[in-house]
Amino acid sequence: MGFTLLVAFKAESQNIETYKYTASEVVTIHSRVLNEDRKVYIHCPKLDSSDENKRFPVLYLMDGENHFELLSQYADYLSRADVAAIPKIIVVGIPNTKRVRDLTPTQSISNYDGKTDTTGRYKLSGGNEIFLQFLKTELIPLIDSSYKTQEYKVFAGHSFGGISSINCMLTHPNMFNGYIAISPSFWWDNEYLLKLTEKRIKAGSTLNKTLFYCNGNEGGSNSFFHKALLKFDSIITAKKLMELDYQYKYYPNEIHMTVPIVAYLDALRFIFKK
C-alpha cells in the first residue's frame, strides 16, 4: 500500500501516544509518497452498546496541530443523544511538516499583493497533488482498514488548508463526499483556484457533493480576501450545478485566526444535516 506503520495500535503495542481525549490516539506512519514520517491524530466517537456494529463517517482535517482538539470536542458534543445535530464521526487530524509545500496547488513565490516574496517561505510550494496522493493511496486506506469507517468522508481545512480542500474537490472530486473550506487563501498564485474553478466546473453539470465555505473579517468587506470569496460564490451559483448542496457564510466579527472556532461548528452541522 505504500506505507509502513511505525507506531502500532493499542491492541498491539504500548508505544501508542495517548491524546487528551479518552478515545483519541496518535499514530505515526512512514509515507513513501512524501518520503517522510507523518504523525496522525485519530479521534473515535465514544460508543455504547447500541453502537457495537455501527460504522462511522470520517472527517480528515488539515492543520491538525491547530484544530484537532476543537473538531474532536465539537464532534463529541454535537453527536450526543440529547443534541443529535450530527452523527457520531471519526476525526483524523493531519499535523503539518511542510505546510506551504503540502497545501498549495502550484509553485509560486508571489505574496497576496502580487509582489515577489523575498523571505523564501514559498520556495517549496506547489506540492498539493503529492499530498493528495498520500491521502488517497496511504492514509485513507490505513484508516479504512483499521477503524470502523463508512464510505462517507469529509475533507476540511483553513486558509492554505481551505484552498487544498477546494483544489481536491476540483481535481479529485471522488476522494471525498463533503468539503469544508474555512477562509481559503484564494489569493494564492494570482487567484489560480478561482480560474481553475471557472475552467473545471461546467455549467449545468452534476457534482454530487456537499460544500461549505466561508471567510471572516480579513481586512473588511472591501478586502481582496472577501472579494475572492464572493467571486468564488458567484461562480458556484452561476454554474447551477446539479446535486451540489452548498453554503457560503461571512463572519464579519471574526478575524482570520478566530473564524475556525465558529465556522467549523456551522460547517459540521451543514455537512451532516441529512
- CATH number of the CATH domain containing 250: 3.40.50.1820
* Mean pLDDT to the nearest integer, 28-39: 96
C-alpha cell at 98: 511542510
**Residues 19/25, Cβ–Cβ less than 8 Å:** yes
**Residues 265/174, Cβ–Cβ less than 8 Å:** no
Considering the domain boundaries, does residue 180 fall inside one? yes
CB atoms within 10 A of CB 208: 12
Considering the domain boundaries, does residue 15 fall inside one? no
pLDDT digits (tens, 9 = 90+) for 75-126: 999 999 999 999 999 999 999 999 999 999 999 999 988 899 999 999 999 9
C-alpha cell at 28: 505515526
Domain span at residue 55 reads 31-271
Considering the domain boundaries, does residue 92 fall inside one? yes
pLDDT score of 51: 79
**Residues 108/169, Cβ–Cβ less than 8 Å:** no
* Mean pLDDT to the nearest integer, 217-236: 94
pLDDT digits (tens, 9 = 90+) for 152-196: 999 999 999 999 999 999 999 999 999 999 999 999 999 999 999
Nearest to 211 by CA among 166, 250, 242: 166
- At which residue does the C-alpha cell 488539515 appear? 62
- At which residue does the C-alpha cell 447500541 appear? 50
Rounded Cα gap, residues 239 and 242, in angstroms: 9
**Residues 63/157, Cβ–Cβ less than 8 Å:** yes
Nearest to 124 by CA among 137, 109, 135: 109
Q: Mean pLDDT, the chain, as a whole number? A: 91
pLDDT score of 274: 81
* Mean pLDDT to the nearest integer, 205-211: 96
pLDDT score of 49: 76
Q: Residue 206's pLDDT band (boundaries 50, 70, 90)? A: very high
Q: Residue 228's pLDDT band (boundaries 50, 70, 90)? A: very high
C-alpha cell at 205: 453539470
pLDDT score of 199: 95
pLDDT score of 147: 93
Considering the domain boundaries, does residue 21 fall inside one? no
- At which residue does the C-alpha cell 523564501 appear? 120
3-state secondary structure (DSSP) of residue 161: helix
Rounded Cα gap, residues 80 and 96, in angstroms: 30
Least confident interval from 199-203, 221-225, 226-230:
221-225
Query: How many domains does the chain contain in total?
Result: 1
Considering the domain boundaries, does residue 143 fall inside one? yes
Q: Is the pLDDT of residue 21 over 50?
A: no
- At which residue does the C-alpha cell 523575498 appear? 118
Considering the domain boundaries, does residue 161 fall inside one? yes
Considering the domain boundaries, does residue 82 fall inside one? yes
C-alpha 57: how far from chain center: 14
